[in-house]
Amino acid sequence: MLDLSIEGQFDLTCQRCLQDMQWTLSTNVSLGLARSIQELEGAEDDLDRVMAGKSMSIEGLVEDEVILAVPMIPRHELCSLLEF
């Protein structure tokens, strides 16, 4: 089992007003470690799994989780520059 706790702040572009916005990431992820493809495919629970190896790239796993957490369409709660 691999438990990741990822926190950080990113500058994104709001897709409503196209201004910069700061976005805060705070996520905890638990990943099961599988030793074989059969173990990955045969799992009968909802736990996300990755292939474990002697030279795993933890940086790559963290990067993947950050990419998955970033909003697909970032936007401010309220855009002060837009007039409706």
Put simply, whether the predicted model's pTM sits higher than 0.75 gets the answer no
pLDDT, the chain, mean = 86
| Cβ neighbours of residue 37 closer than 8 Å, sequence gap 6 or more | 51
Question: How far is 22 from 36, CA to CA, in rounded Å?
Answer: 40
Cross-strand pairs, 25: 8
Token pair, residue 77, equals 């709660």
Q: What is the pLDDT of residue 21?
A: 93
| Percentage of the chain exceeding pLDDT 70 | 94
User: Which is more confidently placed, 52 or 70?
Assistant: 70
Question: How far is 74 from 39, CA to CA, in rounded Å?
Answer: 36
Q: What is the pLDDT of residue 83?
A: 52
User: Which is more confidently placed, 50 or 3?
Assistant: 3
19: number of Cβ within 10 Å:
12
21: number of Cβ within 10 Å:
17
